């Protein structure tokens, strides 16, 4: 007997159900199909190519009107279903009722609209169906600016489509990297880079506060008060199952309509399929599981045994030129191992995640040719232990060799600058090599590359190696650590020449062998990035040693020392009183006067740090950075104000220097001193920078040491005015910041580059000195701020206490 | 297992850690990736360094005092150093961090 089957929603899942039913038994059901959209089933996944203009709607129609007619499906398109009456077993449409024996709810999903002011303005569009797509195409015909909210699959496809249609597109994404549900940081970085190359602006950590406009949308306001102009806003922040009809009908609904493995809802005659369902706590948004569900549902309707089992899923982005793939689970469990392959030359990143000898996840960018093979291994749970060594090279390359340590340099374009001192690019060096300069000395003679400060020597040698091949034997240089084959100097220069502005950029473009470095390289990379890109790169506390992260020195018993700054070694009774009060209030066991002319409170408990800082802040004091690779102290003697031998105001100059320099991060710690006369009571001649005042002015010495090595300063210059001291000191600091290897004190660095070169840069070349000072001041505009004041704020302070205390529960 | 909710994932900085006080001593909860979490003893077997203050890289942590490196999966010291820290079952449920109460000396979850 023919049963009456009513289906609500003509999407890809229900379309597949109908196909299965017709294939099995065309006469089994009398089908009525409702669809709110005034059309039948089309391939929704292909809307993005329609938006970009690479396909038309006609290309993506799955079931035409003729198809429905030929197969006897009664179509009620463009008609909303008002309700489901389960007692009478009828579906009530706007145009009348239809009785059912079996009912399928396939209402799909609705776009999530973030509840901000202005979301209803004309020109604000979600991205879900053909009408949305057409609305975007129409809006793009006028050109102008589009803002896409949401950097997930749909948002990025919308952005790429609008950009191809000539709009100026900005993508706003809430978290730190694009497509964070499907990609890891490294692949997210590469995707961002490719989108930016196409001309799309990407803003991450961007939270929308309001959509602006009076009659129609005019702009978007972010939480941080950034304003963006917009003629079109596309909201693509996510979807939620469309369950209203089911809820109204009293069917059990959690996040989606709850179904069993046979796709039946809590009412045995009502099935649900597709994005509107929830099975075993899971929702479904990709097409593969929907097709599986459709097959099960059709079988159950036909009285056959079938059960739906969710499988591993894979994702590909349909943006031409952005080749990415992700599948399985690549983050979230213990006992997993990573295999990472990076080829900066081809812009390729591959990461495989193994667990118990099996492949459980994969992320690929730039080369996804083998993705189906990897996906098969994940889906089948295949044992990959035997091919582990060569697994990442793919099926065709079992037994392949290791990656080439020279690939980063090989990938550089000819115009990439290798030698910053002499402005020599890679192309010029290659030309010299081809002209017969086949060793470092010859390159230096012909091009001047690496002939000045010498920090690019490693890179020049690598260019030689890449160009000459086996004819050149690369001298062994010490790499930063086991995560890379590059030296510190190479990394610094490549960060600059390749404009690498984030950690993921460094890991990828320089072919790092670990996911995110180690305790040796990450602090160095963090420093190089913030020194090179003070405005673009944000300092990462998690890449710092504990003392710099906690802004206090850890002691061997796990307590901390707190040292407030005393500019130029000067203090006041009020400051001393506040320090004494703090010492008593927090039971500080040891109070010590340091060699840098300030007071050290030793033995402070970690939990008390924010409170003691707040107290010291209240008395006008800031962090002394006694823990940082940065400016420590400027030691002074009392100078001509009090001392009968004093020639200049050494304390005043010391205070000025410390006020100018404090807060700056440097490759290693930096200590200064200013002595008022050559008797040198401030011991200025063994400091990183030491000034000795004389009758005629000031003698500036640099590169002294009084630690593991003891070394007298070398004379940088003699100058007549305080302003010249300030200028030369700032320029020297910046030159050191920009060129020294991480953890080289100035004396070690000057020994490598030579004092003559430093003098050339800082003293003799006035324009260069000015430029150095300017860059130093830009950096100070970001970093000269008191870290204690920031960390004493309640939210930051909470992190200094345990996240939970389970001792109380144990006591109960 | 008796899972105890000890806080939200966002209370632990990415590639950082937070400390939990328990009857078996202080435990460090590490966040190695946006949604990847480990729990291990907070104390380095070498000189008792606070591991929750170490640099977190890959699925490893480096002790802040003398740079011993531990694999958070196994608790094994890496490289030439020999030692072991206790690791504890921990998992994520939505954004919540759940620590196994039984293995940290609590008889029941509350």
Q: What is the pLDDT of residues A281-291, one digit of tens each?
A: 888 888 878 98
CA A88 to chain centre: 56
Percentage of chain A with pLDDT > 90?
A: 59
Is the confidence at residue A401, as pLDDT, over 50? no
Contact status, residue B6 vs residue A790, Cβ threshold 8 Å:
no
Name which residue leads in pLDDT, A690 or A448: A690
Count other C-beta atoms under 10 Å from residue A402's C-beta.
8
CB B22 within 8 Å of CB A806: yes
Q: Which residue has the tokens 């001041």?
A: A777
- Per-residue pLDDT of A125-138, as tens digits, reads 998 889 999 999 99
Assign A525 to helix, strand or coil. helix
| Residue range(s) defining the domain that contains residue B11 | 3-106
Q: Would you give the distance in Å from CA A340 to the centre of its chain? A: 18
* pLDDT(A88) > 80: yes
Is 2.120.10.30 the CATH number for A551-623? no
pLDDT the model gives residue A381: 82
d(CA A811, CA A743): 48
Measured distance CA(A759)–CA(A519) in Å, rounded: 34
Closest CB to A809 among B14, B26, B106: B106
Q: Which of B90, B92, B93 is nearest to B103 (CA)?
A: B90
Would you state the structure tokens that stand for residue A241, as one six-digit string?
């199952």
Cβ neighbours of residue A783 under 8 Å, at least 6 residues apart? A530, A534, A539, A663, A664, A665
CA separation (Å) from B60 to A351, A483, B41, B110?
18, 14, 13, 31
Q: Which one of A508-512, A574-578, B92-96 scores highest in mean pLDDT?
A: A574-578
pLDDT score for A683: 95
Residue A518 to residue B55, Cβ atoms within 8 A = yes
The contact set of A with B (CB < 8 A) is 175, 180, 184, 331-336, 338, 514-519, 522-523, 541-546, 549-550, 554, 556, 558, 799, 802-807, 809-810, 812
Q: What is the 3-state secondary structure (H, E, C) of B69-94?
A: EEECCCCEECCCCCCECCEECEEEEC
Q: How many CB pairs under 8 A join A and B?
A: 116
Cβ atoms A559, A546 nearer than 8 A:
no
Q: Are A519 and B92 in contact (CB < 8 Å)? A: no
Instruction: Say which CATH topology domain A124-237 has.
Output: FAD/NAD(P)-binding domain (3.50.50)
Q: Tell me the ipTM for this assembly.
A: 0.91
- Count of Cβ atoms closer than 10 Å to residue A386 Cβ: 10
In angstroms, how far is the first alpha carbon of chain A from the final one? 67
Nearest-CA distance from B18 to chain A in Å?
Answer: 6
Please determine, for residue A461, whether its predicted confidence score (pLDDT) is greater than 90.
no
**Tokens, residue A20:** 């299965």
For residues A214-234, give the mean pLDDT.
92
* A332: pLDDT strictly greater than 60: no
- Determine which of A181, A363, A803, A811 to mutate to test the interface with B (most B C-beta atoms within 10 Å): A803
A210 three-state secondary structure: strand
Among chain B residues, the shortest Cα distance to A515 is held by B58
The pLDDT confidence band at residue A398, using thresholds 50, 70 and 90, is very low
A447 closest CA partner among A423, A414, A413: A423
- Contact residues, chain A, for B55 at CB < 8 Å: 518-519, 522-523, 542-545
Domain A631-783 has CATH 3.30.413.10: yes
A545–B23 C-beta distance less than 8 A: no
Q: Give the CATH number of domain A3-109+241-301.
A: 3.50.50.60
- Please state, in angstroms and rounded to a whole number, the distance separating the CA atoms of residues A48 and A156: 10
If you write DSSP's letter for every residue of A594-616 in order, what string do you get?
Answer: -TTSSEEEEEE-GGGHHHHHHHH
pLDDT band with cut points at 50, 70 and 90 for residue A399: very low
Q: Which residue of A has its CA nearest to B33?
A: A331
pLDDT confidence band for A1 (50 / 70 / 90): low
- Residue given tokens 């996840």 in the structure block: A361
Q: Looking at residue B42, which CATH number applies to its domain?
A: 2.102.10.10
CB neighbourhood size of A131 (10 A):
12
pLDDT digits (tens, 9 = 90+) for B54-73: 999 999 999 998 889 999 99
Question: Is A205 in contact with A521 (CB distance < 8 Å)?
Answer: no
- Best of A519, A539, A795, A797 to substitute, by most chain B Cβ atoms within 10 angstroms, is A519
Note the pLDDT of residue B76.
94
pLDDT digits (tens, 9 = 90+) for A252-282: 999 999 999 999 999 999 999 999 999 998 8
Subunit contact B56:A803, Cβ cutoff 8 A: no
The sheet carrying A714-719 orders its strands as A631-636, A670-675, A689-694, A697-702, A714-719
**Burial degree of A201 (CB within 10 A; 0-12, 13-18, 19+):** middle
Which tokens sit at A130? 């053909």
Q: Which two tokens stand for residue B80?
A: 């030439």
3-state SS, residue A361: strand
Q: Do B36 and A541 touch (CB under 8 A)?
A: no
Nearest beta carbon to residue A545 from set B4, B26, B64? B64
Distance CA A800, CA B28 (A): 13
Q: Which of the four pLDDT bands, split at 50, 70 and 90, describes residue A519? A: very high
A171: helix, strand or coil: strand
Given an 8 Å threshold on Cβ–Cβ distance, is A542 in contact with B72? no
Give B33→chain A minimum CA distance, Å: 7
pLDDT at A407: 66
Distances in Å between the alpha carbon of A591 and those of A28, A164, A562, A563, B20?
A: 91, 67, 10, 10, 30
Number of separate domains in chain B: 1
The single-letter DSSP state of residue A685 is G
């Amino acid at each position: 007997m023919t049963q009456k089957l009513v289906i609500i929603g003509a999407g890809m899942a229900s379309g597949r159900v109908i196909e299965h039913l017709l294939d099995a038994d065309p006469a089994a059901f009398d089908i009525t199909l409702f669809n709110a959209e005034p059309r039948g089933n089309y391939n929704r996944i292909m809307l993005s190519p329609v938006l970009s203009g690479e396909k038309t709607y006609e290309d993506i129609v799955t079931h035409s009107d003729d198809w429905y007619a030929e197969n006897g499906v009664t179509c009620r398109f463009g008609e909303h279903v008002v309700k489901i009456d389960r007692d009478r077993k009828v579906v009530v449409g706007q145009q009348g009722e239809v009785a059912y024996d079996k009912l399928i709810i396939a209402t799909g999903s609705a776009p999530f609209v973030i509840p901000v002011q202005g979301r209803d303005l004309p020109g604000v569009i979600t991205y879900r169906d053909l009408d949305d797509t057409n609305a975007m195409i129409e809006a793009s015909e006028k050109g102008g600016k589009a803002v896409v909210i949401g950097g997930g699959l749909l948002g990025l496809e919308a952005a790429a489509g609008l950009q191809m249609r000539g709009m100026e597109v900005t993508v706003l994404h809430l978290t730190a990297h694009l497509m964070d549900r499907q990609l890891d940081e490294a692949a997210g970085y590469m995707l961002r880079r490719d989108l930016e190359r196409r001309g799309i602006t990407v803003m991450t950590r961007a939270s929308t506060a309001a959509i602006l406009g009076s009659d129609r949308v005019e702009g978007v306001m972010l939480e941080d008060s950034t304003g963006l102009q917009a003629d079109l806003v596309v909201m693509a922040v996510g979807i939620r199952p469309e369950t209203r009809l089911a809820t109204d009908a009293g069917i059990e609904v959690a996040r989606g309509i709850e179904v069993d493995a046979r796709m039946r809802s809590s009412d045995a005659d009502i099935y649900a399929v597709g994005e509107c369902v929830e099975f075993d706590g899971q929702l479904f948004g990709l097409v593969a599981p929907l097709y599986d569900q459709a097959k099960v549902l059709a079988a159950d309707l036909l009285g056959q045994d079938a059960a739906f089992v969710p499988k591993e899923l894979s994702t590909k982005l349909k943006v031409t030129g952005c080749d990415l793939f992700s599948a399985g689970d690549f983050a979230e469990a213990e006992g997993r191992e990573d295999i990472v392959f990076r080829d900066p030359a081809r812009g390729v990143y591959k990461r495989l995640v193994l667990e118990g000898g099996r492949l459980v996840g994969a992320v690929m960018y730039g080369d996804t040719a083998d993705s189906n093979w990897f996906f098969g291994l994940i889906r089948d749970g295949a044992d990959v232990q035997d091919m582990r060594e060569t697994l990442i090279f793919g099926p065709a390359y079992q037994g392949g060799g290791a990656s080439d340590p020279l690939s980063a340099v090989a990938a550089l374009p000819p115009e990439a600058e290798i030698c910053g001192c002499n402005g020599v690019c890679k192309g010029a060096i290659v030309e010299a090599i081809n002209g017969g300069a086949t060793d470092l000395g010859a390159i230096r003679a012909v091009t001047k590359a690496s002939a000045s400060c010498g920090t690019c020597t490693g890179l020049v040698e690598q260019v030689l190696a890449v160009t000459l091949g086996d004819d050149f034997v690369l001298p062994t240089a010490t790499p930063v650590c086991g995560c890379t084959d590059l030296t510190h100097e190479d990394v610094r220069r490549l960060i600059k020449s390749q404009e690498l502005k984030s950690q993921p950029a460094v890991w990828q473009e320089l072919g790092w062998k670990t996911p995110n470095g180690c305790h040796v390289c990450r602090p160095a990379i963090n420093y190089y990035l913030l020194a090179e890109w003070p405005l673009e790169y944000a300092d990462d506390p998690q890449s710092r040693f504990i003392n710099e992260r906690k802004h206090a020195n850890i002691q061997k018993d796990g307590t901390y020392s707190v040292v407030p700054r005393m500019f130029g070694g000067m203090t006041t009774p009020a400051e001393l009183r506040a320090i004494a009060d703090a010492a008593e209030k927090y039971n500080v066991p040891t109070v010590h006067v340091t060699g840098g002319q300030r007071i050290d409170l030793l033995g402070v408990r970690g939990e008390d740090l924010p409170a003691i800082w707040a107290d010291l802040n209240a008395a006008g004091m800031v962090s002394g950075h006694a823990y940082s690779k940065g400016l420590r102290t400027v030691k002074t003697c009392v100078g001509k104000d009090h001392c009968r031998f004093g020639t200049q105001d050494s304390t005043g100059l010391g205070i000025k220097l410390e006020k100018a320099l404090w807060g700056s991060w440097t490759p290693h710690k930096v200590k200064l001193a200013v002595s008022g006369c050559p008797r040198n009571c401030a011991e200025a001649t063994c400091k990183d920078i030491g000034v000795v005042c004389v009758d005629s002015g000031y003698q500036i010495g640099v590169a002294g040491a009084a630690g593991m090595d003891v070394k007298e300063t070398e004379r940088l210059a003699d100058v007549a005015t305080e302003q010249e001291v300030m200028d030369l000191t700032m320029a020297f600091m910046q030159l050191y910041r920009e060129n020294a290897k991480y953890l080289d004190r100035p004396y070690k660095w000057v020994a490598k580059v030579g004092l003559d070169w430093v003098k050339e840069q800082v003293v003799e070349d006035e324009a260069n000195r000015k430029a150095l000072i300017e860059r130093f001041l830009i950096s100070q505009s970001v970093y000269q701020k008191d870290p204690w004041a920031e960390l004493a704020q309640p939210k930051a302070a909470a992190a200094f206490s345990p996240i939970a205390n389970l001792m109380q529960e144990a006591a109960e | 297992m008796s899972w105890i909710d000890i806080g939200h994932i966002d209370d632990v900085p990415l590639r950082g850690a937070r400390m939990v006080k328990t009857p078996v001593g202080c435990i460090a909860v590490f966040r190695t990736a946006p949604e990847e979490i480990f729990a291990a003893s907070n104390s380095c077997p070498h000189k008792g360094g606070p591991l929750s203050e170490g640099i977190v890289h890959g699925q490893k942590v480096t002790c802040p005092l003398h740079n011993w490196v531990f694999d958070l999966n196994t608790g094994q010291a890496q490289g030439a150093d020999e030692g072991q820290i206790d690791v504890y079952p921990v998992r994520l449920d939505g954004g919540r961090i759940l620590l196994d109460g039984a293995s940290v000396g609590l008889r029941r979850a509350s």
